[in-house]
Amino acid sequence: FRYSTVTVTHPLGTWMLALCVTAAGTVVDEKLEGRKGVRKKGVDGQVRSFKEIPHTGRSGWVNLVKFWREDRFRQLHKHMERTFNALGPIYREHLGTQSSVNIILPSDIGELFRSEGLHPERMTLQPWATHRETRHYSKGVFLKNGEEWRVDRLLLNKEVMMSAAVKRFLPLLDEVARDFCRMMQAKVEREGRGEEGKRSLTIDPSPDIFRFALEASCNVIYGERIGLFSSSPSLESQKFIWAVEQMLVTTPPLLYLPHRLLLRIGAPLWTQHATAWDHIFSHAEARIQRWYQRLSSSQGRGSEAGASGGQYSGVLGQLMEKGQLSLDLIKANVTEMMAGGVDTTAVPLQFALFELGRNPEVQERVRQQVRASWEQAGGDPQKALQGAPLLKGTIKEILRLYPVATTVQRRTIKDTILQNYHIPAGTLVQVCLYPLGRSADVFAAPQRFEPDRWVNNGEKGQTVEGSSFRSLAFGFGARQCVGRRIAENEMQLLLMHILLSFHLSVTSSEDIKTTCTLILQPETPPRITFRKL
């Protein structure tokens, strides 16, 4: 039962597989137009035209062929970084059918977000939308825009974003994090080396972390455990993991191919993608049916507390009991949250264990703060997290260095000026997170792992104006990730319990090589040594 690679059988899959969600980062070579510089001025200081923005080539199809020929898709995040170094803080990108303007400086990012309006719009993942349309399923907030999106989002915020909601689901996350550490302690004691009680074990923890992320998500969203820490996880759970992997790996090529044509001819790539989503939706449908069964059972016993028996019943239970969203919309939104909430927490946790392991002084500093806070909180997870700002800083620092998504996008709703260039309304503008997080123009010592830089209002390590727009891994504003509070607390709680239970070290302190598929992840998962404290 391990996280595995899914093979795309479509003939174009080999090279299209590594296309990321965005079209940013085309190859930089000696033919690039433009040069490095900031806020270029036109004649007489006037705003320069859109066409004058530096770009990487006018033909999207030529750019696409270059990428294919040089097999550079898997390093899109590095190509973005290289392109900014060559062209400056803004450039145009045309890749296949996708066009965008890419930016990196917090001052420009702030200008973009300040003009986004009541209904911010980002790039739609059309293959996902097409699946919903062909299956006659409702779309969740991830795939909606306009007033319809806003109405649904405000209702969801009450159950996943507000402080009262966090207080309700935090104990469920804490329960899973504690169980993970108990499982790891047993594994270290059983398989590790050294004298009893002080054993250590060196492993690739990614399969266990992936199981943790799925178990935690199910507990919060569906209000039930699925037993992934047992020696023989259920077939249903394994199918869900397979489906999420299949969905993630088949999405990128479909972004740049005519997926509706592939649908009509029954191409294997589209069939794999649609089948994966069908399994994911079936998983949600089964959980909804179980909720109804629990409701019927509680009513049969004469309970007046509803399906939850007076206890928190998860996001699904809260939405079902309140009845403000239709059943189809509830199903669509919990399905999207489940599908998007596993890899996006499991992968950053791998990077976090690695960075803490190769930075023992930082690890000890965070542990001491966590230990003091935990003791003072008396076992209350919310109080413990509030008293350990370095823990939150650790997550922000990991997502600065290793952002899960490579970009945050907005489609401009009105004409905008960025870097003294005119950006017409309707333009897709992308904030490129990997080069932003590693830019010496934005961060002091950007290659250094320093959770402290985010403490005290993030004043340490600030080198430019617009410091409010330097940490954007979960997006920004009304359109930020709907599962942000779940993910942040999930990662912090697991790290807290790991640091209370283990000392971490690494077998190699060399930088991790990363690759970009739908998300940024290690080429090879790091091996971590867990030593019981």
Residue 202 DSSP SS3: strand
Contact 515, 5 (CB under 8 A): no
Residue 95 DSSP SS3: strand
Q: Please give the sequence-ordered ranges of beta strands (E in DSSP) within 174-232, or none if there are none.
A: 200-203
Q: Output the six-digit token pair for 5.
A: 């690679």
Say if residue 181 carries a ligand binding annotation: no
Spatial distance between the Cα atoms of 291 and 307, rounded to a whole number of angstroms: 7
Spatial distance between the Cα atoms of 429 and 412, rounded to a whole number of angstroms: 7
Q: Output the six-digit token pair for 251.
A: 């999405």
Per-residue three-class SS string for 331-355? HHHHHHHHHHCCHHHHHHHHHHHHH
Spatial distance between the Cα atoms of 371 and 385, rounded to a whole number of angstroms: 11
Q: How far is CA 311 from CA 56, 158, 165, 169, in A?
A: 56, 17, 13, 11
Q: How far is CA 316 from CA 55, 241, 313, in A?
A: 46, 20, 7
In the numeric block, the tokens 């499991």 are attached to 346
The distance of Cα 380 from the centroid of its chain, to the nearest Å, equals 27
Torsion of CA 391, 396, 398, 401, to 10 degrees: -150
Spatial distance between the Cα atoms of 158 and 318, rounded to a whole number of angstroms: 10
Rg (alpha carbons) of the chain, rounded to whole number: 23
Spatial distance between the Cα atoms of 487 and 63, rounded to a whole number of angstroms: 36
Contact 173, 487 (CB under 8 A): no
Q: Output the six-digit token pair for 399.
A: 């997502």
Strand pairing partners for 94?
99
Contact 490, 210 (CB under 8 A): no
Spatial distance between the Cα atoms of 297 and 211, rounded to a whole number of angstroms: 30
Residue 507 DSSP SS3: coil
Summarize the annotated binding site as residue ranges: 481
Summarize the annotated binding site for heme as residue ranges: 481
